[in-house]
Chain A
Amino acid sequence: MKSDDRPLADPMLVLREEFDDWAILFDPDTGDSFGVNPVSVFIFKHLDGRNTLDDIMHKLSVECEDAPDDAEQYVAEFIDSLVQKGFAGFEQ
């Protein structure tokens, strides 16, 4: 994805927050569910079609101390994986 893309999560997905800030991402159309770690929960909540990758990285750096140098790459890969699964797209 490009740094100025504005990813948007599929609004039909359910983010069910569980213990220790982890969550389950549930697709009601398939019944599939995926465990999501706290950083991914933070990212997912910002996939609202308004935030770019840069915006999300900035907010993540405020929220999380000592983010690794290659964090942006991992965030981009996570969002790409959501797009590939059909869980997110990009706001035009």
Chain B
Amino acid sequence: MKDEGNIRVMKSPKTVELSITNRCNLRCIYCAHFTSDGDQGSDLSTAEWLKFFVELNRSAVLDVTISGGEPFMRDDLRELIDGIVRNRMRFSILSNGTLITDEMAAYLASTGRCDYVQVSIDGSYSGPHDAFRNNGSFDLVVAGLKHLQAHHLRVNVRVTIHRHNVQNLDAIARFLLEDLNLPGFSTNAASYAGLCRSYADEVQLTVDDRSQAMETLLRLNKQYNGRISASAGPLAEAKHWLEMEDARTENRAKLPNCGSLRSCGGVFSGMAVRADGIMLPCSQMPHIELGRINQDHLVDVWLTHPEFKRLRERRAILLEDFDFCRQCDYIPYCRGNCPALAYNILGEENHPSPDACLKRFLEAGGRLPTNNGQLIIDN
């Protein structure tokens, strides 16, 4: 056990994200993976992954998230999952959903270890979904999702909000929650990473789009009794920014865990591995190379690597020390937000993320959600 910035570090990561392949059958133009530092040419062999799973078991890692690329591209996926199960772990899968067959869904259910499969659906019909993905992918992902439902697997649908579906959110909610009868879905937004960096002006939400998306998602979430969730993107921003504005107008001293670079806590509970076997602090920061699996020890990297220490200690860096934050009234209510996004925009992780800055959003003409002119505080 180590103490870093008053937060004790666990003896080993609780969870590890494994990018098992660099390949994908789609080329979504807002993909965070392709053209990023995670976009590495070659995939590890089956044997190398299986060997690493033994180390994960020995290190008491409890669960892994299987990602890519597209995980279902690997012909040996069952063999890999059998290795995960054999080594006493549970798993979840992040997928575009287009390659999931009934047979594969039956296999996943048979393991008894699958926590969920996340698939991407960005529209209530093919138009907005296929706009930035491949034509025909909407029908394939809906078919894949139904296979998962038929085998009673937990499905987490992720809706990435972009310029071509921001007007479709009501219909998307109706399609997912009523027509497909999902218990819920989650949202984010196309962010400045990977391929999206080359198409940002076509894809990313404008300030007006963001304002509208926040208001719409808060309304829909109320209408559907909280069945829409988000850890990033307009819904998450709406909730946190309203809380910040409420605290500012009430002149509160501060909000808990705010005033310094407190986002994010992921480096205290998990880490990631690139498709080429390089260990990372987070899949969103593929440029920070910590070592190679089966050569460097996972627990040594976790406990002693200077880059992990640097990222964990960022929470001690005060926002008031940044020129970027000078004369900002929101400092006591702000956590600085995602270090990966800050890196993608500025080339520096230990900096507040400009994209998630409430002050800049308002200065650019952004609006917080209101109801008859009153801020929607009860969200």
Contact string, A67-89, partner B, CB cutoff 8 A, digits 1/0? 00000000000000000000000
Partner of A15, one of B12, B60, B113: B60
Interface size class of B (residues with CB under 8 A): 10 to 19
Assembled-state Cα–Cα distance A14/B61 (Å)? 9
Tell me, yes or no, whether B8 is within 8 Å of chain A by CB. Answer: yes
Tell me, yes or no, whether B155 is within 8 Å of chain A by CB. Answer: no
- B88 with A12: CB separation less than 8 A: yes
Contact string, A9-34, partner B, CB cutoff 8 A, digits 1/0? 00011111111000010101101010
Set of chain B residues within 8 Å of A17, measured between Cβ atoms: 11, 60
Given contacts A19-B1, A31-B90, contact A14 B60 (CB under 8 A): yes
CB distance from A88 to the nearest CB of B (A): 16
Partner of B90, one of A15, A18, A19, A28: A28
- B8 with A19: CB separation less than 8 A: yes
Partner of B113, one of A16, A18, A28, A33: A28
Partner of A16, one of B8, B60, B90, B115: B60
Assembled-state Cα–Cα distance A29/B112 (Å)? 6
Assembled-state Cα–Cα distance A7/B200 (Å)? 61
Set of chain A residues within 8 Å of B1, measured between Cβ atoms: 19
- B62 with A18: CB separation less than 8 A: no
Set of chain A residues within 8 Å of B182, measured between Cβ atoms: none
Interface size class of A (residues with CB under 8 A): 10 to 19
Partner of A28, one of B11, B12, B14, B89: B89
- B11 with A18: CB separation less than 8 A: yes
Set of chain A residues within 8 Å of B60, measured between Cβ atoms: 14-17
Set of chain A residues within 8 Å of B10, measured between Cβ atoms: 18-19
Assembled-state Cα–Cα distance A37/B238 (Å)? 41
- A16 with B62: CB separation less than 8 A: yes
Set of chain B residues within 8 Å of A15, measured between Cβ atoms: 60
Assembled-state Cα–Cα distance A16/B89 (Å)? 12
Could you list 29 examples of A-B contacts with CB < 8 Å? A12-B88, A13-B88, A14-B60, A14-B88, A15-B60, A16-B12, A16-B14, A16-B60, A16-B62, A17-B11, A17-B60, A18-B10, A18-B11, A19-B1, A19-B8, A19-B10, A24-B62, A26-B62, A28-B62, A28-B85, A28-B88, A28-B89, A28-B90, A28-B113, A29-B112, A29-B113, A31-B90, A31-B115, A33-B62
- Shortest beta-carbon contacts, A-B, top 10: A16-B60, A28-B88, A14-B88, A26-B62, A28-B90, A14-B60, A19-B1, A19-B8, A12-B88, A29-B112
